[in-house]
Amino acid sequence: MTFMEILNLRTEFEEIVKDFNMNTFNSGIDTIGWFIENGHRSNSLRNGFNEAMNIAKTIKEYADGCTESIGNWESV
């Protein structure tokens, strides 16, 4: 998946969750992490929840992979 595809997913995620109950809402990866861990509490019955969760997990996996790659590269 390319960086541009991830950015498009992020935009789609933000559009889906704009009316969800969120403790935090910004464009950082922390919002994605919070949603994965806590988003189900008051949003699981909302339209688009499952799609938002799938997008959030995809973005988180990508971000974790980038962090791992950068960490490995720096240690070389």
d(CA 61, CA 8): 15
Q: Is residue 26 part of a domain?
A: no
Q: Is residue 24 part of a domain?
A: no
* Arithmetic mean of pLDDT, 1-9: 93
Q: Which domain holds residue 67?
A: 3-19+31-75
User: Quick one: which H or E segment has residue 50?
Assistant: helix 49-75
Q: Is residue 56 part of a domain?
A: yes
Q: What is the gyration radius of the CA atoms in the chain, in angstroms?
A: 13
Q: Is residue 43 part of a domain?
A: yes
pLDDT at 23 over 90: no
Looking at the 3D structure of the chain, how many domains does it have?
1
pLDDT at 47 over 70: yes
25: Cβ contacts below 8 Å, ≥ 6 apart = 17, 31
* Reported confidence tier of residue 27, pLDDT bands at 50, 70, 90: low
Q: Is residue 71 part of a domain?
A: yes
As a whole number, the mean pLDDT across the chain is 86
State residue 25's pLDDT score.
67
**pTM for this entry:** 0.82
